């Protein structure tokens, strides 16, 4: 209620992006990744959108995110936790039919015990260590995990076998990714030798979907492209090279706006805002906007960022405050309190892209998006 800033999320852009992702995924299932408050788009809203558009597999990082989305998932939609489950949440996950990745033997034992308590099978996805060296079962432990599952098929359902690539969005990592693909293939044969054919083999994120289509397997885990962005400029180039006839069809879902809160005249020579970070070089007119670093408008955009008002780009002047920023509106003929301000998105012919924003604040798109504060209302629009 009474929010000073809000983020509109476009349903039609989401549908288009999903359509293109499905086309690229071919036969393999699309699992949407909703971690980081759905890359800043709002966890609940994105879950509803995904389910409404027939997505049947969702991935989150943690048990607490799974807990938040479950009420919107319906019966046919599976939820997978890729990362953290506190031990006390394992029984809950199993009782809810939520699957989770297993990257250590203790977790596998915990899953077995919890399954026995709950009286329901634990759905596990074994994560193989293939070279990222973050989480993942090393070869010996992987073999041991297969044996444990083999002896406990009443309590453990081996639903998936997966891995994650260590930077598929950069060509400089090519050798490392290729090695990971080979090691993943080895893990697949090991599990086949142990007599398993898990329902889902999955490895690819957005970058791998474009650059290593051979890693699509049964399912792809797609985050950033759902929201209309490429994981890196390299992957955009790669996409355009491969699909020259349909260059980048992905669309941003979000439009971040606020309103002009006040208009103020400042005489030449006066300092503006806190301290001496900006001195007015001429008689000028400023607008105050109720958005600051508390909302995710990075402080490093002080004297650097820009906003749109009345279809014109205005420079941020002075320091970005916790809840406010000032911009130079001297160039506008008319500007009034209540005018729409665009922080990300289009207004008239002008546009502020996430990339431009991210570049000058030294962030990657992923980071900028997830830093859009969760308290900003997300509003679904067509």
Ligand X SMILES: *Cc1c(COP(=O)(O)O)cnc(C)c1O
Distance in Å, CB of 275 to ligand X, minimum = 38
Q: How many helices (H) and strands (E) does the chain have?
A: 12, 18
- Looking at the Cβ atoms of 230 and 297, the one nearer to ligand X is 230
- The DSSP output letter for 377 is P
Neighbour tally for 195: CB within 10 Å = 9
Q: Is the separation of the CB atoms in 63 and 111 below 8 Å?
A: no
Question: Hey, is 63 helix, strand or coil?
Answer: helix
* Among 100, 136, 140, residue whose Cα is nearest residue 121: 100
Distance in Å, CB of 205 to ligand X, minimum = 3
Distance in Å, CB of 103 to ligand X, minimum = 11
Dig out the tokens for 74 from the structure.
Answer: 């319906």
Residue with tokens 């209309």: 228
CA distance 198 to 124: 10
DSSP string, 234-252: HHHHHHHHHTTTS------
- The DSSP output letter for 89 is G
CA distance 91 to 70: 15
- Looking at the Cβ atoms of 120 and 170, the one nearer to ligand X is 170
Distance in Å, CB of 163 to ligand X, minimum = 9
Distance in Å, CB of 360 to ligand X, minimum = 22
Distance in Å, CB of 229 to ligand X, minimum = 9
Please name the residues in contact with 38: beta carbons below 8 A apart, sequence gap of 6 or more: 45, 46, 47, 227
Strands 29-33 and 57-60: parallel
Instruction: Give contact residues for ligand X (rule: CB under 6 A).
Output: 33, 35, 82, 164, 205-207, 221-224, 231
- Looking at the Cβ atoms of 335 and 369, the one nearer to ligand X is 369
Distance in Å, CB of 209 to ligand X, minimum = 8
- Looking at the Cβ atoms of 207 and 287, the one nearer to ligand X is 207
CA distance 339 to 243: 40
Distance in Å, CB of 203 to ligand X, minimum = 9
Residue with tokens 């979907």: 209
């Amino acid at each position: 209620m009474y929010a000073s800033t809000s983020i509109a999320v476009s349903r039609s852009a989401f549908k288009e992006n999903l359509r293109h992702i499905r086309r690229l995924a071919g036969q393999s299932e699309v699992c949407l990744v909703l971690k980081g408050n759905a890359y800043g788009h709002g966890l609940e809203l994105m879950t509803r959108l995904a389910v409404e558009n027939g997505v049947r597999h969702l991935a989150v990082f943690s048990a607490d995110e799974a807990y938040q989305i479950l009420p919107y998932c319906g019966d046919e939609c599976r939820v997978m936790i890729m990362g953290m489950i506190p031990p006390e949440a394992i029984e809950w996950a199993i009782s809810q039919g939520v699957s989770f990745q297993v990257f250590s033997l203790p977790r596998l034992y915990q899953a077995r015990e919890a399954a026995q308590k709950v009286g329901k099978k634990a759905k596990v996805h074994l994560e193989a260590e293939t070279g990222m060296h973050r989480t993942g079962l090393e070869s010996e432990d992987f073999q041991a995990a297969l044996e444990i599952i083999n002896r406990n098929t009443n309590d453990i359902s081996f639903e998936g076998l997966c891995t994650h690539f260590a930077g598929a969005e950069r060509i400089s990592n090519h050798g490392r990714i290729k090695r990971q693909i080979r090691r993943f293939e080895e893990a697949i044969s090991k599990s086949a030798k142990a007599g398993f054919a898990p329902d889902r083999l999955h490895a690819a994120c957005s970058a791998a979907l474009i650059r290593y289509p051979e890693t699509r397997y049964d399912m792809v885990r797609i985050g950033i492209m759902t929201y209309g962005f490429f994981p890196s400029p390299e992957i955009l180039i790669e996409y355009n090279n491969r699909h020259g006839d349909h260059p980048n069809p992905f669309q941003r879902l979000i439009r971040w706006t606020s309103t002009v809160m006040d208009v103020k005249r400042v005489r030449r020579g006066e300092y503006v805002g806190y301290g001496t970070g900006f001195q007015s070089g001429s008689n000028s007119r400023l607008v105050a906007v109720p958005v600051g670093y508390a909302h995710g408008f990075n402080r490093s955009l002080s004297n650097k960022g820009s906003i749109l008002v009345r279809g014109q780009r205005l420079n941020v002047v002075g320091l970005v405050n916790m809840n406010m920023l000032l911009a130079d509106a001297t160039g506008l003929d008319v500007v009034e309190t209540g005018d729409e301000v665009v922080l990300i998105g289009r207004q008239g012919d002008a546009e502020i892209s996430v990339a431009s924003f991210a570049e000058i604040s030294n962030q990657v798109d992923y980071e900028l998006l997830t830093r859009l504060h969760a308290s900003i209302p997300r509003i679904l629009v067509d």
